[in-house]
Amino acid sequence: MKREKITPPGAYPAVRLRRNRVDAWTRRLVAENRLSVDDLIWPVFIQAENGAVAIESMPGVERLGPDRLIDALGPAMDLKIPAVALFPYIDPALKTPDGAEAVNPDNLVCRAIRSVKAAYPDLGIICDAALDPFNSQGHDGILRDGAILNDETVEILCRQSLAQAQAGCDIIAPSDMMDGRVGAIRTELDAQGFQDVRILSYAAKYASAFYGPFRDAIGSSAALAGDKKTYQMDPANVQEALREVALDLAEGADMVMVKPGMPYLDIIRAVKEAFGAPTFAYQVSGEYAMLKAAAAQGWLDNDRVVMESLLAFKRAGADGILTYMAPEAAARITAG
């Protein structure tokens, strides 16, 4: 994207930039970026038990049981949100150190994929490849003697991805940050006849404190032993993000993601400019919690900060945004 030419100094009073801001229709005409419903991906939390459970640290977000999921996605369908990302809360009794439940073809995620596909064949379904919902320590990989095992984890991620593809998942999103997982998953999917299942790589995923409320939602925070700094990226780094993205694209990623969102707009810009590949931003749980908490106090205007925070991703170069605010943003865009 090219920046507008800077007007030479001294051009005032002939040049007055405020002229183009005089009225709403002019502002609309000259707007450089626009948020569309087509840009939105809605992350949705699911649980095995019927009913819905409110997530305390994410006001307005609920974990949905099988009896509620399809109805809850109705508005997203009506508003034409292109895709949802499903995140499971797994019964603690099913969690193990190797996260084996992740590869069970009849686990909560696979059951949900089948029911959503049956109800809404045209809605895109995205699922993580990562062990954290299934791992008893809340880690994304297999933990042994205090270390996360890379290659053993990649193997189980391939089986998890295959199970999800077989259930009807359209996009596998490896969110684990193991080395080599995109290529391994691509090879496995291709070998099993799933050439068209896409890979959205969490390519530049930082070891961030902004994921706290998400871990509450999927029930992994209480158990989390230590942090994820041996596999997620150091928030200090930019060049490393470009290397991560380069590798994932070379290994066959169709789309890449930067995560978290708002504190990492510089990374989105750098990735988009360097590769030009479909680039997504994840406005994560902690960003949602911040904005909603301030809005609930009356300190911020909810409707305006929601739209402004999402537009910022477009300006930074993102092609799309994973956001818990997708339904309210889509409703507002549609209303005009």
CA 150 – CA 261 distance, rounded (Å): 26
Selected binder of ligand PBG within 214, 231, 280, 313 (CB under 6 A):
214
Q: Which stretch binds ligand PBG (CB under 6 A): 18-26, 68-76, 93-101, 126-134?
A: 126-134
SS3 124: strand
Number of residues that bind ligand PBG (CB under 6 A): 11
Q: Which stretch binds ligand PBG (CB under 6 A): 141-149, 211-219, 233-241, 244-252?
A: 211-219
Contact call for residue 130 and ligand PBG (CB under 6 A)? yes
Residue of this chain nearest to ligand PBG (CB atom): 214
Least distance in angstroms from the C-beta of 79 to ligand PBG: 21
Q: Where are the alpha helices (DSSP H) in the chain?
A: 24-30, 66-78, 108-119, 150-167, 181-191, 212-217, 239-250, 265-275, 285-296, 302-316, 326-335
Region of residue 333 (left: phi > 0; alpha: psi -120 to 50; beta: else): alpha
148 DSSP β-pair partners? 143
Pick 47 or 285: Cβ nearer ligand PBG = 285
Least distance in angstroms from the C-beta of 31 to ligand PBG: 29
Look up residue 145 and give its two tokens: 């003697």
Helix then strand count (H, E) for the chain reads 11, 12
Pick 227 or 273: Cβ nearer ligand PBG = 227
Task: Lay out the site mask for ligand PBG across 233-272 (x = CB under 6 A, - = otherwise).
Answer: ----------------------------------------
- In the DSSP assignment, the letter for residue 54 is E
Q: Residue 272 contacts by C-beta under 8 Å, 6 or more apart in sequence? A: 279, 316, 317, 318, 319
Catalytic residue among 95, 205, 292, 314: 205
Selected binder of ligand PBG within 241, 245, 270, 284 (CB under 6 A):
284
Which sequence positions are flagged as catalytic?
205, 259
